[in-house]
Amino acid sequence: MDSLLEMRDMVKHFPVGKGLILSRLGGTVKAVDGVSLDVAEGTTLGLVGESGCGKSTVARLMLRLIKADRGEVIFEGRDILKLVRKDMQVVRRSMQIIFQDPYASLNPRMSVGAIIMEPMIIHGVGNREERLQRAEELLERVGLQPEHLARYPHEFSGGQRQRIGVARALAMRPRLIICDEPVSALDVSIQAQILNLLKELQEDFNLTYIFIAHDLSVVRHISEEVAVMYLGKIVERAEHDTLYNSPKHPYTVALMSAVPLPDPVKERERQRIILVGDVPSPIDPPPGCRFHTRCWKKQDICSEVEPPLEEKAPGHLAACHFPENV
């Protein structure tokens, strides 16, 4: 299967503290430090990690919302980081994003109709009639009613606002949608609605998703492939069932062990791996393997040599000197 999007060796460091000169000497937050990934058309790549791992930054780098320090993003065969504004505008039709916060992702002063039609207006597509028509179609497709076009975001619930966000993302018929924690801020009973909707849409429109989340259970449900990030790097990547049944990187093992299951009997029987200590600071990541400070398998080489991300089993990449389950 061809990759629709490929990110190569992406690096983004943020300076610590803003300001003119002196504050810039304080060091950098190595938010994304050499990340490569790719996603095949029509599939979903899940990107998991805890706070500070860089996954949201990766999303924004992909869309050129932030300027990358180094690296390439190959979309439809071209490196979009090198495109001029005019060409990038065209690319933007094909790549869209859905945000986490249903309350902050819609402009409270714009009607739902205006919100959904905005991409069409920006790209100069159709006349007013056609845009309204399409907006109605989109609303219905995401499970809302055409009369909602005239209403304002604050009149809707969190789940409904997310649906509006989805409608907005679909307006220009994108090929790829980046979902940045789209269900984290929603109630449990609403999460399922949105996840099902996303899956349906993917089937109907052959959409490709990059699904970013910290909730492993959600990611498992919706992704074909999953990549795990830790402190700015990808530490493991595999096809979903393989990852969950046979994780290779200790961090992944610990992560999965930490996720509580809504099943009291299983929970009582479980042997948990509880990591000791906090996540190190991305300003000063540990040398060698970044996870070694919390890893129970750590040996000398781990703090000296950074393990490369390589294939430990067919189609299964991990960055560890002593992987599990091999």
Partner 1 sequence: MGNNGDKLLEVKGLKTYFHTQEGVVKAVDGVSFDLHRGEELAVVGESGCGKSVTALSILNLVPDPPGKIEEGQVLFEGKNLLEMGDKEIRQVRGNHIGMIFQDPMTSLNPVFTIGNQIREPILIHLGLNRKEAKQRAIELLEMVEIPQAEKRYKMYPHEFSGGMRQRAMIAMALSCEPMMLIADEPSTALDVTIQAQIMELIARLRREKNLAVMLITHDLGVVAGVAETVLVMYAGKVVEYAEIDRIYYNSRHPYAWSLMRSVPRLDEKRERLMTIGGSPPSLINLPSGCSFSPRCPFAEDICDGEEPPLIEAEPGHLSACHFAMDFESHGREVTS
Partner 2 sequence: MPDRRDPDDLRVGKEQPELHGPEIEEFEIELEKGRVHGRTALWSDVWHRLYHNKMAMVGLAIIILLFLVAIFAPLLANHDPLYSPLYNPDVGAAEKAESVKQTPSWQNWLGTDQLGRDIYSRLVYGSRVSVEVGIVAVLISLLIGLFFGALAGYFGGWGDSVIMRSADVFFAFPTVLGAIAIMTVLGPGLINVFIAIGVLGWATIARIFRGSILSVKENEYTEAARAMGGSHARIIWKHIMPNSIQPIIVYATMGVGGAILAEAWLAFLGLGQQLPLPSWGNMLTEYLDFYTTDPWMMFIPGLAIVISVLAFILLGDGLRDALDPRMKGSI
Q: Which residues contact partner 1 (rule: CB under 8 A)?
A: 50-51, 157-160, 187-193, 195-196, 199, 214-218, 220-221, 240-241, 244, 254-267, 272, 274-275, 278-279
**Minimum distance of partner 2 from residue 193's CB (angstroms):** 8
Nearer to partner 2, 130 or 304 (CB): 130
Least separation in angstroms between residue 281's CB and partner 1 is 9
Cα separation, 171 vs 206, in Å, equals: 15
Q: Pick the piece of the chain touching partner 2 (CB under 8 A) from 22-30, 145-153, 264-272, 277-285.
A: 145-153
In the chain, what is the straight-line distance between the N-terminal and C-terminal CA atoms, in Å? 27
Say how far apart CA 3 and CA 176 lie, in whole Å.
11
Q: Which is nearer to partner 2, 94 or 293 (CB)?
A: 94
- Residue 199 contacts partner 2 per CB under 8 A: no
**Residue 22 interacting entry, from partner 1, partner 2, none, C-beta within 5 to 8 Å by type:** none
Q: Distance between CA 1 and CA 43 in Å, rounded?
A: 10
* Under rule CB under 8 A, residue 131 binds partner 2: no
305 binds partner 2 (CB under 8 A): no
- Cβ-based neighbours of 138, under 8 Å, separated by 6 or more: 116, 167, 168, 170, 171
In 3-state terms, what secondary structure has residue 245?
Answer: helix
258 binds, among partner 1, partner 2, none (CB under 5 to 8 A by kind): partner 1
b or e along 227-256 (b: 16 or more beta carbons within 10 Å of the residue's beta carbon)?
Answer: bbbbbbbbbbbbebebbbebbbbbbbbbbb
Q: Is there binding between residue 107 and partner 2 (CB under 8 A)?
A: yes
Nearer to partner 1, 117 or 198 (CB): 198
Smaller CB separation from partner 2, 25 or 265: 25
DSSP strands (E only) in the chain: 3-15, 28-40, 44-48, 70-75, 78-79, 95-98, 176-180, 208-213, 225-230, 233-239, 310-313, 316-318
Q: Closer to partner 1 at the Cβ: 147 or 187?
A: 187
Residue 185 near partner 2 by CB under 8 A: yes
Q: Where in 110-129 is the site for partner 2 (CB under 8 A)?
A: 110, 118-119, 122-123
Closer by beta carbon to partner 2, 88 or else 313: 88
Q: Is 141 in the site for partner 2 (CB under 8 A)?
A: no
**Cβ-based neighbours of 47, under 8 Å, separated by 6 or more:** 37, 55, 58, 59, 210, 211, 212, 213, 219, 226, 227, 229
Q: Is 103 in the site for partner 2 (CB under 8 A)?
A: yes
Cα–Cα distance between 166 and 177 in angstroms, integer? 9
Three-class SS of 247-263: CCCHHHHHHHHHCCCCC
What does 44 interact with, of partner 1, partner 2, none (CB < 5 to 8 A by kind)? none
Q: Quick one: 119 or 159, whose CB is closer to partner 1?
A: 159
Name the pairing type of β-strands 225-230 and 176-180: unpaired
> Which position among 104, 258, 259, 326 is part of the footprint of partner 2 (CB under 8 A)?
104
CB contact set of 26 (below 8 Å; sequence gap of 6+): 15, 16, 17
Helix (H, G, I), strand (E, B) or coil at 317: strand
Interface pick for partner 2 out of 101, 137, 224, 239 (rule CB under 8 A): 101
Pairwise CA distance, residues 220 & 224, whole Å: 8
The binding site for partner 2 (CB under 8 A) comprises 18-20, 60, 63, 65, 88-89, 92-93, 95-97, 99-101, 103-110, 118-119, 122-123, 143-145, 147-148, 151-152, 154-160, 165, 168, 172, 184-186
